Amino acid sequence: MQAEQHLPFELPPVTFYPGPSKVYLQLSRYMQDAFTQGILSINHRSATFMEICRKAIEHTQAKLNLPDGYKVLFVSSATESWEIIAQSLIGRKSFHLYNGAFGQKWMEYTQKIHPASNGFQFDVNQALSPDDIQVPADAECIALTQNETSNGTQVSNAIITQFKQKYPHMLVAVDATSSLGGIKLDFIAADIWFASVQKCLGLPAGLGLLIVSPRAMERAREIGDNTYYNSLLFMAENIEKYQTHYTPNVLNIYLLMRVMEEVEDISIIDKRTRQQAHAWYHFFEKYTSVSPIVTNTAVRSDTVIAIGADKQQIAFIKERTKQAGIIIGNGYGSWKETSFRIANFPAISLQEIQDLQHCLAGVL
């Protein structure tokens, strides 16, 4: 191997990209510890790994306030969770409520496995309500994207609960990829939750969490899927022993353990996230050249702030923030060129927020 090469950056740029996003600064120390303690080479069937796995799960359960009996499973990504849910938790048909690119992709991935699955597309400014939407009686699972990263909208805990109450015989599955770890989620209101770690959990990409209720496990046993390497029953069997169904991302599980051990309780993080989101929206109200994509304040995301403007203005803002050493997120999907996105994730410091606001104040 050649001598160590230096990367082209002196210091990492400040990033507000909503995934992969800024990682917790403590990772520098945790990664060094992982190296010196030999974690990078441990066997995934060893007692050391099982201990790390157990602690990562237990700290996650404690800090996120997971209900008793909810299992935490390690997967590679949120995308893998979409597929696992289709394979192992849906027999024939799911019903998807979506208003943006990620929710739509989830439905499309599911339709490849279950062509009968369908959904309802709602407007970005519409607050979902079970009174307005008739979920087909033969759907087994209602799929909701709690935080739609592409357009900066969110579905409240109260609304998820209402769907659960109106359709008690169906499973409710929630994509919380860009909110889990950033805001308080009412886990009891749904049976399946998932996220990848490179968003609100402040970790590098390559690991996902799939959280399942006892009821979802019961449904998995009824369906009995055991066809795939990542069939839920097989994964659950392994995690009982604090092992995984394949050689996992051991470093990331270790980092999750360290982060979850040290972060504050989600109720404290939640409060700060919401206050900062409020401050961000308030900040943009001062300017007429830009405005949040979402005009209905009741459905605006707390963790991903999506701001629209005309194409030239967006290009100008991105150029100027880049010159200041700050990366902001591009628009996504149909909003690609007419918006930018700002992650409001817990690993981002107040100082960085102030620096970005200072920079934006000179541009807007």
Which of positions 128-147 make contact with ligand PLP (CB under 6 A)?
145
99 binds ligand PLP (CB under 6 A): no
Q: Does 154 bind ligand PLP (CB under 6 A)?
A: no
Supply the angle between the helices 266-285 and 350-361 in degrees, to the nearest 10.
10
CB atoms within 10 A of CB 353: 18
Residue 178 near ligand PLP by CB under 6 A? yes
* Among the listed residues 196, 213, 238, 252, the single contact to ligand PLP using CB under 6 A: 196
The CA distance from 108 to 130, in Å, is: 22
Burial 123-147 (b: 16+ CB within 10 A, else e): ebeeebebeeeebeeebbbbbbbbb
Among 15, 17, 19, 53, binds ligand PLP (CB under 6 A): 19
Q: How far is the CB of 299 from ligand PLP (least distance, A)?
A: 15
Q: Does 244 bind ligand PLP (CB under 6 A)?
A: no
Which CB atom, from 87 or from 149, has the smaller least distance to ligand PLP? 149
- Which range of residues in 36-44, 121-129, 175-183, 324-332 is near ligand PLP by CB under 6 A? 175-183
Segment contacting ligand PLP by CB under 6 A, of 72-80, 226-234, 253-261, 350-358: 72-80
Judged by beta carbon, residue 177 or residue 276, the one nearer ligand PLP is 177
Interface with ligand PLP, residue 182, by CB under 6 A: no
b/e sequence 66-85, b meaning 16+ C-beta within 10 Å: beeebbbbbbbbbbebbbbb
Work out whether 301 is an interface residue with ligand PLP (CB under 6 A): no
* Nearer CB in complex with ligand PLP: 182/292: 182
Q: Tell me if residue 113 falls in helix, strand or coil.
A: helix
335 near ligand PLP, judged by CB under 6 A: no
Which CB sits closer to ligand PLP, 228 or 242?
Answer: 228
| Cα–Cα distance for residue pair 209/196, rounded to 1 Å | 6
Per CB under 6 A, 151 contacts ligand PLP? no
Task: Identify the three-state secondary structure at position 289.
Answer: coil
Nearer to ligand PLP, 113 or 363 (CB): 113
Q: How far is CA 339 from the centre of its chain?
A: 20
- Count Cβ atoms within 10 A of the Cβ of residue 312 and give its class: 0-12 exposed, 13-18 middle, 19 or more buried: exposed
Q: Which residues lie across from 95 on neighbouring strands? A: 118, 142
Of these, 15, 21, 61, 77, which contacts ligand PLP (CB under 6 A)?
Answer: 77
Question: 49 vs 193, which CB is nearer to ligand PLP?
Answer: 193
The reply on whether position 110 binds ligand PLP by CB under 6 A is: no
Assess 49 for contact with ligand PLP (CB under 6 A).
no
Q: Which is nearer to ligand PLP, 102 or 284 (CB)?
A: 102
Tell me the C-alpha distance between 225 and 220, whole Å.
7
Q: Which of 19, 308 has the CB closer to ligand PLP? A: 19
Sheet holding 208-212, edge to edge: 71-75, 208-212, 192-196, 171-175, 141-145, 94-98, 118-121
Q: Is the CB of 19 or the CB of 202 nearer to ligand PLP?
A: 19
User: Across the strands, what pairs with 118?
Assistant: 95
Contacting residues toward ligand PLP, per CB under 6 A: 19, 77-79, 102, 145, 149, 175, 177-178, 196, 208
